Structure 1
Amino acid sequence: MTEKAKSYCEKFFGAKGLGLAETDPEFSDFFQNFAFDEVVNNDDLDDRTRMMAVLAALIGCQGLDTFEIVLPAALNAGVTPVEIKEIVYQAVAYLGIGRVLPFINKTNEIFEERGIELPLPGQATTGREDRLEKGEQTQVDIFGDGMKGFANSGPEESRHINRWLSDNCFGDYYTRTGLDNRQREMITFCFLLAQGGCEPQLTSHAAGNMMVGNDKGFLIQIISQCLPYLGYPRSLNGLRCVNEAAKN
């Protein structure tokens, strides 16, 4: 391994790194040289943001085994337990509980091993009486005034789904403390990027990211940092979506 890769690996992942050095030494060296030297030194993205993006991407691609390795590294990089839990919780809105429950359970297991007391402090800021109003306001804050009245828009037979987007996706999740709107839009971008097949939504959320201050250059950095974990096809699809959003 290069000296930079060794240094990064030892700082965040420990001496074993990804744990493949004994069984797959050649692969271990060239992958970690790429991921932990060439990629992480490609830009000036801070380690906390990088780790948050990678955690979100691993949930999105269902990379539970790698998530188990990266989560302690994220804690070592200064990502807080609350921030990690908020990333995992928000994934439910974009992947469903069927795909996220294993990540909730794995997070709890690692937290308990590290002596992090559960449950963590609550982060909710809405209740049943105001989640719709505050959720729609969050949509407006991120995507603009065109989202006003979104909960009551669309064909009558599917209008309830628009309402759920406002009161559940945004009212229950985005209004929580622990992460701000820029961070929440960034992790949503990673969920969509990683699972694939969501290019219309990925383009929309690339635009939403740009509206809250995560510009095109930032999103390209996020794609770049997630690429070792997602591969090239989904990363290139994400780049196309970012370029499309930047035209508008």
Structure 2
Amino acid sequence: MKELFSNFGRIQKNDPEFHEIFEKFAYGEVFEYSNLSEKESILVTLASLLACQSPKAFKKILLAALDMDLTAEEIKELLYQSVPYVGFARAHNFFGIVIKVFNKKGIELPLPNRSNTNPENRHKKGRELQDKYFGAEIIQMMNDNTPADQQHFNRFLEGFCFGDFYTRDGLNDQERELITFVFLASLGGCESQLMGHIQGNLNAGNDKEKLISALTVVMPYIGFPRTLNALSIVNESCE
């Protein structure tokens, strides 16, 4: 992670005092309390920077990440996964950043198609994943309790969020749910959704310790209030 932070040369040159403080904390002390792999650490960092709308830092870390453990396909899938949660208005600029970085690295575009659904089965496959992550009874109860004039939002979740994105190759179930947890924690104000995706993480195979580690890694980027809010929900949900 220090290799990633070394890209912030302008800060180091013009404000060495802050650079030293932040580097020792964010890329030293923080990692003494995380059990994430290097790849997972980079994924959650990029996810947090995207949700927090920090394009310059995202680009600098992405440049280094592609020389380490992350593949172009995994970066593409992180972008895709972000759209249902942060919205395309927030994700749009990051698509442009990734395209520029890929071009600079000589990565041929477009990348191969990773979709596993079509217009006929996207809702069915999306519902299957919703049931897998959150439980069929919970999803059915949500649908039954939604007023008729709002049912289309459930259809959007089923077909767009889960059918179009969660079914894709490129990231596994644990990675998708982990970065989704980080998107929501980084946005703030998404407590009910965060609670749902904590359960989704547990069902996908990520344990409480991994969620705490993810918050530990992204805390320098999202600050204490959002971190402690998310940590409180993790503790409540994992009792």
Partner of 1:3: none
Q: Output the CA distance in 1 between the equivalents of 2:169 and 2:210.
A: 23
Partner Cα distance (1:172, 1:31) in 2 = 38
Report deviation, 1:44: 3.1
Q: CA deviation at 1:144?
A: 1.6
Q: Which letter does structure 2 place at the counterpart of 1:129?
A: E
Instruction: State the TM-score, normalized to the length of structure 1.
Output: 0.91
The alpha carbon displacement at 1:17 in A equals 3.9
108, 112, 130: which one pairs with 2:103? 112
The farther-off stretch of 38-47 and 235-244 is: 38-47
Q: 1:21 aligns with which of 7, 12, 15?
A: 12
Shift of 1:152: 5.2
Letter in 2 for 1:177: D
Letter in 2 for 1:47: E
Distance 1:150 1:133, change over 3 A: farther
What's the RMSD between the two structures over aligned residues? 1.6
Counterparts of 1:162 and 1:139, CA distance in 2:
11
Q: Is 1:98 the equivalent of 2:89?
A: yes
Give 1:46's match in structure 2, choosing from 37, 58, 69: 37
* Alignment partners' CA distance in 2, 1:54 and 1:169: 22
- Stretches of structure 2 that go unaligned for 5 or more consecutive residues are none
Equivalent residues of 2:5, 2:23 under 8 A apart: no
Identity of matched residues, %: 41
Point out 4+ residue stretches in structure 1 off by more than 3 angstroms: 16-19, 147-153
C-alpha separation in 1, matches of 2:203 and 2:217:
22
Residue 176 (1) aligns with residue 168 (2): yes
State the AA in 2 paired with 1:101: H
> Where do 1:1-248 residues align within 5 Å?
8-10=1-3, 12-14=4-6, 16-17=7-8, 19-147=10-138, 149=140, 153=144, 154-247=146-239
Q: Which has the higher contact order (CA 8 A, sep 6+)?
A: 2
Task: Please give the alpha-carbon distance, in whole angstroms, between the structure 1 residues aligned to 2:138 and 2:114.
Answer: 25
Q: C-alpha separation between the residues in 2 aligned to 1:34 and 1:102? A: 29
1:150 is displaced (CA, Å) by 6.8
The answer as to whether partners of 1:21 and 1:28 remain within 8 angstroms in 2 is: yes
* Preserved CA contact (<8 Å) 1:53 1:190: yes
Report if aligned partners of 2:34, 2:214 keep a CA contact under 8 Å in 1. Answer: no
Q: Secondary structure at the match of 1:179?
A: coil
Where does the alignment leave 5 or more consecutive residues of structure 1 unmatched?
1-7
